[in-house]
Structure 1
Amino acid sequence: MGIGHPEYASTMYLLGKVLSQQGKDAEALIEESIRILEESGLGESPICIQRMRYLSTGWDSFDTTNAAELLTMTLQTMGKLKESEELLERCLEVRKRILSEEHFQVCIIFNVSRDL
């Protein structure tokens, strides 16, 4: 596919989100994924707009916690339970700040993390 391919940009974006969730600076990766989409003629696509929106919201967004939850399943499959648990805990804290502690989405994450 190559470095300028939209799928490469998607991989960069997801990696950037994961690094961001780990507290690392990943803004450059996400910006690069947006640049690749723009150069591919996808600068006004819903995917590109979503990435731009992510840059403006950071960790405290549903998009970020949704991506992190999906990543936790991959980590579990790979046998990386500690990393998966840490990521789920972070998702739980974000959801608690956005929603109430009694919200069903918070309860679901809590129950999944407890089962690890």
Structure 2
Amino acid sequence: MLDNPVSEKRRSRRYELRLPVEIIQIGGQPVSVSLQTLNISSRGTLIADPEEKLRRGQSVEYRIYLPTASEGAKVYVHCLGAVVRRDATRKAAAVTLQRYEFVRASAQAAAG
């Protein structure tokens, strides 16, 4: 018998990663909100959102900043998705990853 009767519905493996996220649009409106990922999969990410800026059903444009080993080019993933659920226990929002693009910005361009 299973210890947990709730079946696992996820189709993609999740990776526990804490990375900085910048929300740049919510529902088509420009914003600038800095948050952090809790986990990531090929289909979406769980974003810590203690102030509940992200609501179910909203379209979201966001950037996930990847760690760099040196002071070279900064790399981020520019993403488009939608909020599909709220996790009240973890004060987080599950956001889909419908479209994405890896972007490399030189340290000089990022500063200027």
Shorter chain as normaliser: what TM range? Answer: under 0.3
The answer to which structure, 1 or 2, has the higher relative contact order (CA under 8 A, 6+ apart) is: 2
TM-score between the two structures when normalised by the length of structure 1: 0.22
Higher strand share: 2
Higher helix share: 1
TM-score between the two structures when normalised by the length of structure 2: 0.22
